[in-house]
Structure 1
């Protein structure tokens, strides 16, 4: 099956367009110049920007594919026959070639005498010097000759898999026993879902029998760990084993910044240093179960998603050696290497923690967690430290005096949002309306602060002409805001609650139409897209063609909602997208709030989880028409994941972009940014 990159609909393999939303399944736009490029190419042919999907392939040679070493031990304690036969004919059997029940007689042991002609060769083919120079290798006469193992070596451009899907971007060298090589490959069928990716997306438990069927043992840690804690580990794209090698195909983290680089960056805060130490402790516990703690002890393997995200991750996993004995002191040595390379000064008590870890005075993870919490408290409240100690410590900037205490190891959500609306270049009035509310609640406890967040974000695109569309959109926003403020201000709403709220908004607009005796196209109405965030949970509801997008580092830009319009309705009925959108009424809405009674309103409701830093974009069609967000995702949207990007001017930039490339309609956008902090 081929999964649409916009709406995630599963299409037949031969489809060129998504049956649900009409998106091309063979091409996409270059994020840099907007040129249409095939999905199976690495770079844009116009500007050279990398547009292809690249994975990191971990290649492990199979034992049968490795030639034995020249000095390998011989079997049977050298108790076997050795020799060579240069004759092309099979030698005749002699009494010495068979095992008899009785010893041979003396006559049988006698060597027959040779005649003069037999004893003297007719011609000296080899001289004595030539014969001495010839070396005949010893062979086991009891074993038949074996074919040489197939070569693992592959040039750039060759395919790594039998299905010719994953194309090598690096040459694959000839491998030796016990050697593992990582190379980059281009996925020439990026929308095809591999069996392992489908299994992982379904969040199947690692103990499920399907895992044993589909996943080779070397890949099982990736599947399990990435499913449990996706922020730390690359996701498993595919894995297989052939006669020559095993391959584990992973998300490509090789181009991410190294942890050691950001550790040395003076802009990195002392809190972040301690957070990373805490992450390493938690990873130590996770990897111990799988025997992969060695993965943490290689500085080249420790990466960060980006310089601005600060999220620690591992490029790949390394299994511990069978005879290795690892302890927390090895982790302490890694910390010491990081500080020595960066030449950063340690916080006062962190020096003691590091020393105690390396000297095995701290022997348990619980002790180490507690010690790091003490260090973090010192950083957050430097005024409690002696003045002399503070002045000598370069890791304690004065701006941290009022920083809140965070509970180490617990994740929390920080939420911020900005909304903007614009009349556009061709309309004389604005029928769009939006409302947003963000609440952050902080509770002090003896262990630190506990944060909870809640956000309500509503966007409506009205219709019905002057004094109609803007009225409908405003009624919808007001009704929904009052509903959730008065009745469900704290708890996370259920699907039934969402439907009830939307029906009440529809009823309010419908009654207004009835009172004003509006009919036909004069009946006012509005689209709706709404998101409610409560900590890590999100519920999205929509009616009409206003959209919600989700942007993350791991999944990129995804269109979460599917437009309620005639073209999409026809595609869902199996009509070819080209035919569906050739209709003159293809973009006519099939649903809206207000024109009809509630039995004609069927909102789509979806529940989501915030598992990593996420940006939600609620937008009217003035911003989303002509695939504007998809085309300019890299330049306009990706920077929103940078915590240093100010949301207000960024949203203003989206409005300007829409006026430049669309401008035919009102333009409204709400950008919600959710940070997942992991102290």
Structure 2
């Protein structure tokens, strides 16, 4: 029994025809009894008047709308894929799968951004066919941007998505896909979607600058002039040679996106804080079981060593040579939004003397991992970043702040989030909170502080990787009380936090603060647990982190590599990482007391 027209699903048929082959549409109408194909035309097409949507070399590309009259049957593509032993172009073609299908198959992981490939085959005349899903409830990217209520961070998120996709499309020689304005749109979910793939002209391949130029055009044509101005700044960097690769463009976009996300979150937080109702109070108490813990706990050291500040003995005192940094965040593979937030600020002064170049510098580095229902986690981490940044602008002038000043800053952030939680009068389980890890650098003196399970690591050539914070978790509290690690970590609540900022009053928040002196070249890494989970750093630091101690190493590439690695190994959570590289030299301006 044939399905009724109402049950049929529309699909797109994309097919390619060599110029020396006469165009043939192998489908009949739905009610045509002579139609021998499983696919039927969804509307009438005149074969002689069908125009290609693209021409590349000696091949023309066409599209028609079809319906599948036998959806219950296995497709030719599925049958042929069962014959494939190795997934490469040669094996696919030997199995009867046309080259036109290869990029769709390769990009399957990008669904629904890339249309799903439903069927594919090649006829005896050399025409290749692919059946892909038809976009429904789809609006063009320009129409979407024209809406005044689209948040800034959402606009830049879509541009960032295109930048990430460009890399894989470029490998497949399909970059033109992102340069066709009417091919870009947004679906019901609010996510970016493209209609179909376009192949590149191999004699005149697309350039990265064309992608940025298209962004500017779309934004300017759709009342997004403020965002177009920001993207024009990227174009200037491209023209000046500061941005030359898709990776450099992605890194620059990532910074813009994070700033837009922070601005939008803070605007939303000032308008209304989303606090769940009273009936979730009991869950909150269970989720945040904040038992008081001792502040004087030793850091977990990955390698052997008696103290987190044990360093090689030097004769001359050391002074700052350089301070470099980079911070990035990624939504991860399974989250719909990013609850992490971070801040980085450095100030460097250089002075040249006959003895050499001398630097003084300050660095403020902060990572927060938010938690809480609705937008609570995002708001909490953003509030913590804003509060701590402003606090240390006011309370950090010459030397490093002392321990009490640092603790008061963290407790002030706790107060701001706690007051926001109470403002509505609700005491629900969705009460928002956040972890915090913070590193303050003053020349070669460093202060580290934290609450929660976000971490700070230190990397040196002599001592390797050292974890210089201890998680505020149930398991760590148990181990501090003498319980064997195997027993403590086997508890079902082992990784439950014992501290966070925001859910409870200051009496229940006990920041850990330590002071370190940098006596050899050092990298400090601050991260959320999306990066540190599953001992990712412990297992990969020698290949990923140790080379970054070199002044020639690019920290942006290093951080991007870490985020990529975290998505491969973890990927279940948001991922944020800051790297701060401190290089030191003997202080030749200060006399050696041993001479």
Normalized against structure 2, the TM-score is what? 0.46
Larger C-alpha radius of gyration, 1 or 2?
1
The two structures have a TM-score, normalised by structure 1, of 0.40
